[in-house]
Structure 1
C-alpha cells in the first residue's frame, strides 16, 4: 500500500473512533449551559468526565499504536502498552483482560504490532468476552499471542486477508490496524498467523526475528 494511503486510513480510523466521545463532550457542554436543576447538572458533569476520559484513553492508545508514542528509544516499556489497552477495553468492563507479558522492554515495532493485533481482536468481540495478550522473547525471536473468546466473535474475512497477506481487497479506515500490523511484521521479516474462521476462539500469533540487543531485524 502507498504510504500516503496508509496514513490517510490511520487518520480516518483515529477520527472515527474519537467522533463519539468528542461528540458526547460537546453535547454535555450544551446541556450544562442550559440546565439549572442541580441533579441534572451533576449528571452532565459525570457525562463530561466519562467522555473526557474516553477521549484521553483513545488518544493514548492510538499515539502508541499508530504514532511516535514511547519516545525516541528503540525499546518501549510494555507497561505503557498494557495501560493503553486497559484504557480502551478495560474501562467499559465489557471485556476481561489478561496480560502475560514480562517487564522486559520490547522493540517499539513489536509493541505497535501487539497493540494493533489486540485492537483487531478486541473489536472482534462484538458482545464482549475475554482478551488475553501474551509475548515471550528468546535470544532469536519474539513471539506475540492474542486470544479472544466471547459469545460472538466477528472478524471480517477481508481483514484476515489483509493481516496475513497484505491483500488490497479492503481499503477503508477499519482496515488500518490490519494493514499496519501486516506491514510491521513484514518489515521485521516476521509473519502473522490466524486461527480458522470457524474456530470458537480467535487466536492471532506473530513471530518476529530478533537481531543483536533485542532489536528487530529490518528488511
Structure 2
C-alpha cells in the first residue's frame, strides 16, 4: 500500500480535526453557558470546564504537531522527555490508563519519535476500558527499536490499522482512522525498517525497528 502524499495529508488533517472537535466544541458550549449563567457557583464551574477544554485542546495540538507535522524541522534529534511529556499530557486526567516508560537513551532521531508517538496513540486508543500503556525505546548500533504494549480487560483494535502498519492495506481502503498508521509504515519503510503487530483479547504489542537514515 502506497498512498499519494496529497491523500495521506488530507486524511491526517481529517484525523486531526476529528480529535480536536470534542474539546473545541466543549469550549464553544462552555462560552454559551457562561454568557447566560448568572449564578456565581455555576459560573465558577463553567470557568473550570473552559479551562479543562482549553488545556485538552492545547495538549492535542502539541502532540499532533510533532506526531503528524514537522515540529522542530527535519532530521533533528528529539529529547525522549519531550515525547514523554506529550504522551503524558494526552493521557491527561484519564485515571483508567497508566503509562510506564523505559528509555535507554536521552534522545531519538525525529523519525523514531514520530513513530513512537503514533504507536503510543494507537495503543491508547485501544484501551477503551482502561489499562496499562508500556512504552520503551533504545538504540543499538545505529538502529532504533521501539515497543509499545497496551494491556487491559478489552482491547479494541481495528484490523485495518494493523494492515496499514504492516503495509498490506489496499490504498483504496485508506481512511482517517488508518492514516497515522500508514504514515509511520511509509516512514519506517523509507529508512529500511518496519512495524510489527501482535494482538490478543487483552493486549496489543506494537514494535518498530528503524535503521538510521
Indicate if the aligned counterparts of 2:154 and 2:201 stay in contact, CA closer than 8 A. no
SS of equivalent residue, structure 1 residue 181: helix
The alignment status of 1:192 with 2:195, answered yes or no, reads yes
Deviation, structure 1 residue 95? 1.0
The residue number in structure 1 matching 2:182 is 179
Q: CA deviation at 1:199?
A: 5.3
SS of 1:173's equivalent in the other structure is coil
Partner Cα distance (1:5, 1:34) in 2: 43
Describe the shift of the 1:207–1:73 C-alpha distance in structure 2 as closer, same or farther (beyond 3 A).
Answer: closer
Residue by residue over 1:156-209, the C-alpha shift from the partner in whole angstroms, topping out at 9 and shown as x without a partner, is 1111111012422632111121111211111111011111x4353211111111
TM-score, normalisation: structure 1: 0.91
Residue 138 (structure 1) shift: 1.3
The aligned length equals 210
Q: Quick check: 1:79–1:103 contact (8 Å CA) kept in 2?
A: no
Contact 2:74 2:110 in 1 (8 A): no
Segments of 4+ moved more than 2 angstroms: 70-73, 90-94, 197-200
Listed as ranges, the gaps of 5+ residues in structure 2 are none
Bigger Cα displacement from structure 2, 82-91 vs 5-14: 82-91
TM-score (normalised: structure 2):
0.94
Q: Which residue matches 1:213?
A: none
Quote how far apart the aligned CAs of 1:139 are.
1.6
Greater alpha carbon shift after TM alignment, 158-167 vs 71-80: 71-80
What is the distance in 1 between the residues matched to 2:99 and 2:92?
Answer: 7
RMSD of aligned residue pairs (Cα, Å): 1.4
